[in-house]
Chain A
């Protein structure tokens, strides 16, 4: 494939078609485009970077093997659905855990170390890291369905896509997010919820 200057403009569906026709580079673009979001979702849902790696790899394995099965208009929604199905499969008999002290990469970096705060004044950085830690813990306490909606939304999926991923009506996806926001507000308190951006 001749990768043009703006590969972002090539639609996912077209890239998948090119891949099916034998263009390996088209798959590389798709992997680069969507893997980080898959990884973040998997990391939050499994709580372990090694598990998240496995999940991402398995999702793409399924994409490659079932690429002919893509019929929808949203490739992103399709791969998130595959990811969700795989997470459900592997979670049977397992209890997912999230630990902010868990390492997420080489060199002993922990999830806590990666929380936003770099480049801010020490107090502001510490405060932001604290918000993130609080939110991560509160999100982890949500039901799996509510957590999924929250995370998928944070990844930029709209509610129609989220509903397709979860195979539920739009109203159900909305209700899950509504409950999630309610629970987060309750567990994080009014002070967190009313904090202004940029503080």
Chain B
């Protein structure tokens, strides 16, 4: 008979952790084994004394209040940290948006200047080319714009080129 194993079963049984079948088998063993009964009785005796002993220890009333105050303090500090983080994040987002807007405005401005320049050159070309020979102001068409764009691209013209320079260049091309 392996009483060490049975004694471990006693431990489990006292804690209600044995299945009914195992508990029945243990009961049968206990009926026949004085050593294991003695172990069980000692365990119960220790449990009784230990539990009454522990029940007699008074939990300090102030401690619960202190724990809760500490938790509340932590929660408030955390809330403040969270709010500060949100504010910082909002500021960072605003800065990013401003930078983005400024950058976007720069890109847009560059594109707009280029478009204006192309339109200007197209207008000059339209007058110079005056395909119909009317001699009157001509509304630049798509092909004038296309030519102006190509001219600017091919010549690598500086955006700051004056209208006079443009006219002379156009003369040359013509």
Give the interface of A toward B (CB within 8 A): 24, 27-28, 31-32, 35-36, 39-40, 43-44, 49, 53, 56-57, 60-61, 64-65, 104-105, 111, 114-116, 128, 131-132, 135-136, 139, 150-151, 153-155, 158-160, 171, 174-175, 177-178, 181, 184-185, 192-195, 197
Contact (Cβ within 8 A) A64 B71? yes
Given the known interface contacts A31-B68, A159-B11, A178-B8, the answer about A116 and B53 at a Cβ–Cβ threshold of 8 Å is: yes
Given the known interface contacts A39-B59, A104-B58, A185-B42, the answer about A158 and B52 at a Cβ–Cβ threshold of 8 Å is: no
Chain A positions within 8 Å of B16 at CB level: 158
Contact (Cβ within 8 A) B12 A159? yes
7 contacts between A and B (CB under 8 A): A35-B59, A40-B57, A114-B57, A116-B55, A153-B15, A174-B11, A174-B12
Q: A44-B54, A132-B49 given; name 18 further pairs at CB < 8 Å.
A: A24-B72, A36-B59, A39-B57, A39-B60, A40-B54, A40-B59, A57-B66, A60-B71, A61-B70, A65-B74, A104-B58, A116-B53, A132-B53, A139-B50, A158-B17, A181-B42, A185-B42, A195-B45
Contact (Cβ within 8 A) B41 A193? yes
Interface string of B27-52 (1 = CB under 8 A from A): 00000000000110111111111111
Give the interface of B toward A (CB within 8 A): 4, 7-8, 11-12, 15-17, 38-39, 41-60, 63-64, 66-68, 70-72, 74-75
